[in-house]
Structures are given as C-alpha cells and as structure tokens.
Amino acid sequence: MQTMRFSVLLYISLIFSLIISTPARAIEKIDSIAIIVNDEVITQQQIENRFNDFKQQLLLQGQTLPDNELLKKQVIERMIIDSIQLQMARTQGISVDDLSLNQALENIAQNNNTTLDGLRRTLNSKGISYENFREQTRRDIIIQQLQQRVIYSTVKVSPQEIDIFLEQQKQSGDASNDKYHLAHILIATPEAASPDEVAAALTKAKQAIERIQQGEEFSDVALRFSDGRHALQGGDLEWRGAAELPPLFLNTARQLEKGEVSKPLRSAGGFHILKLIDKQTRNYLVKQTHARHILIKTDQITSDDEARNTLLSIKQRLDKGEDFAALAEEFSQDPGSKSKGGDLGWASEGSFVPRFTQVMNSLDKGEISEPFKSQFGWHILQVLDRREEDETEQRIRQKAEMAIQKRKADEELQLWLRRSRDEAYVEFVNESND
C-alpha cells in the first residue's frame, strides 16, 4: 500500500508541477485525476472518452439510453474492475502485441462483413474513436487472457458431474441441446451478509421487478439496478445451452414463458431476476461438411498480395482441370492436411473460424472458392459433400463437459471479481463520480 500511495503522490506532484509552470490559458486543458485504483489512476478525460464511446455503441444497437448519471455510474464501475484486472495481468506478464491486436481487429471486421479500413471508417462516422476502440480491444483481450489463466483453466469437470447432468436432463425430459436466451439482473449481497443487508437487497430486487411490471424495459432496469457483469449490456446473457446455466437459472428458465420475468431468486451472491427472451429446442441432428483446402501463410517474407496471387494462379490451374489433392500436397502450408491432399474430413458446425465457415457455407457441393483470408492466412476451399448426422454419445458428453465447465467458471468469475473489487483500494478524488 505504501508503494501505491507513493506512485499516486508522484503522479499528483507531476500534475502540480505542470500546473504551476503552465500559462494560465492552458491550465484548463490539463486532465484531472478522478479515481485512484490501487497504484494507478483513472482520469476524468478517460471516463468521458469511455462514456461517450459506450453511449454511441448503445445507440447503434438501438437500445434506450438511461439518464447520463446512471450510465456513467455503470461505466465508471466497469472501468474500476477493468483497471484492477489489468494491474493483475501486468504482474503476471500478460500483454498483447500490435500484431496480435491487428489480427483480432481484422477478425472483428470480417465478422461484420467489412475490412479493417471499413471498420475504422464506420466507427469514426458513428462518432466512436477508432483509437479508443483499438486500445479498448487490447485491454479486453488482456482481461480475457487473465480470466482464462486465473479462472477458466483451473475449473475441472468430473465424469460423475457429466453423468449426473445428463441423467437430470433425461429425467426432466429436457434435451441437453436446448438453448435459452435470458436477461439477468443481480442485486448483490456481501459475503457473510447480515440480515439487514439481505433484507435491503430483497427490497431493491422487488423494486426492480415492480418497475418492469409497470412497463419499463428490462434492459433499462438492468442498467439502473444490476450489479452483474452484463449490466452495461442491459443484462443480456445471450444464448446459452442448458448445461451452461446454473441449476437455479435452468430450473427457473424451464418454468418461464417467453417474455416472462421471474421472482427474486436467492443465491450466495445475492438476488437474481431472470427474463426468458426465447428458447430453442434442438434435436441431435447436426450438419456436417466434408471439405478440403489449400493454405498459404503470410509472414515477414510472404505478403498478403503474394499469398493471394499464388492462390489465384493455383485456382486457374484447378479451373483447367488439374487435381486439387496434388496441388494441395505441392503448395499447401497446412501441416495437418497437406499430406492428405488438403482433406479436412467431416466437420460439424462451429469447427472452424468464422471467416472459413462463412465461405464454406456459401459454396455448393463440388464448388471451389476464390482466394480468401482468415486469421491463419489465405485459402482456397472446396466443399466435397454435406450430410446430417446424429450426435454420438461421445460428442454429447464432450459438449456437456464444455458447457458445465463454462458454467462453473462463470460462477467462480463472478465471485472472484466481487472479491477483487472489495479488496482493492479505490478512492474517488472527485466525489461526483462516486
């Protein structure tokens, strides 16, 4: 704590020295410290930038905005939690270099059917700073890597847990492939909460439900009341498989009708309010595609243009009737499929990265794609066949294991974030931000 206070005092001293050595007209341009988080600071300008960018993102998503004071409070709380995690990440040596960041941004652009330049132009045209978006993406990736290392990689699922889950699904008549789209509000309570604290949280939860019953949008109430990680997304948990939901959520979701809101649900973390937005009941038939490809990787020696031109010449040879497998064995740089003539075998939906899947799904049986780029390099892809297959028992167990692991990790992450926030030193220099 002493080191932390020294660093902050050094920062304040530096600002003060700048103030006394700066002409009066320039003083008003100097940023001010708004919040101290452990041994770092969050400035007023950083808050304004994040607030304005997030406000624009909500508008682009068509969400109704709460009042500025409420939205800023949620943004500030997110920034505090992010700051805590970023400091932890630095102590563990976690960082994201520019090359990895650029690749992530290209993936975001591809998923939105545009280029990196197109993404930059779109953001700027909507009043969202591309530079702020870029650096926030870097921070988000670092935080994801920290959470993966500290939480997700440590969560294990036993065979007995899988057996119990599948048996429960069987007895309830609810297939493990069922998916639920839920929205969520959390009214948190401290660890070892007193009866008065529990009663106060329950009262707040009932007030939130009353607002929803009176016609307020669930997302607006979530922004106003929720202490959950998804509050800034209006409480939207998006689609989740049955195994990804805590038993408390799953049992409630099964009983809700579309659009219905639950009563307050008590857990160790506080009171939860759920809304069932939609439900999908899926059978065990999965679509599979048999494809093959030729990959040319890009690096410091091979540019994008060179890789694409190589594949264009290969495509011309294929169009003239040359054998795909022979050309794949000669040119492809994918070590897993090169010796097999580029054959990727039968793959279920979701087996490949989004861009590869997008192109594969757009092709007819036997059709060969034009060269396209993914995060691994440049490809030519041919679809050999398609089919629907029943999922095997092994596949069902694998999916159940992954979903149970994610659910357990999400629960642990929520507790870990709350504990980290409680243990951190947080001081609001400007009381209006508290």
Q: Is-contact 64 223, C-beta < 8 A?
A: no
As given in the structure block, the two tokens for residue 273 are: 């309010």
* CATH C-level class of 164-283+399-423: alpha beta
pLDDT at 192: 81
What average pLDDT does range 62-72 have in this prediction? 77
What is the pLDDT averaged over residues 22-30? 43
What is the CATH class of 31-150?
Answer: mainly alpha
In this predicted structure, the answer to whether residue 28 has a pLDDT above a threshold of 50 is no
Q: What is the pLDDT of residues 346-394, one digit of tens each?
A: 988 778 888 899 999 999 999 999 999 988 899 999 999 999 876 666 7
Reported as type and span, the H/E element at residue 354 is helix 354-362
Instruction: With cut-offs at 50, 70 and 90, classify the pLDDT of residue 36.
Output: very high
> Domain extents for the chain?
31-150, 164-283+399-423, 285-390
pTM for the whole structure = 0.54
Q: Which residues of 216-250 are buried (b: 16+ CB within 10 A; e: fewer)?
A: eebbbbbbbbbbbbbbbbbbbbeebbbbbbeeebb
pLDDT digits (tens, 9 = 90+) for 275-289: 999 998 765 677 899
Answer yes or no: is pLDDT of 59 > 80. no
- How confident is the model over 207-228, as a mean pLDDT? 92
CA distances from 352 to 11, 55, 356, 372 (A): 47, 33, 6, 14
Say yes or no: do domains 31-150 and 285-390 share a fold.
Answer: no
**Complete DSSP assignment for 40-82:** EEEEHHHHHHHHHHHHHHHHHTTPPP--HHHHHHHHHHHHHHH
CATH topology of domain 285-390: Chitinase A; domain 3 (3.10.50)
Q: Which distant-in-sequence residues (6+ apart) come within 8 Å of 109 by Cβ?
A: 115, 116, 118, 119
Contact 230, 184 (CB under 8 A): yes
Kindly state the DSSP code that residue 263 receives in the 8-state scheme.
Answer: P
User: 322-345 pLDDT, tens per residue?
Assistant: 999 999 999 999 988 999 999 999
Instruction: Please say if the pLDDT value at position 242 is more than 90.
Output: no
Q: What does each C-alpha distance from 374 to 297, 304, 356 come to in angstroms?
A: 10, 11, 7
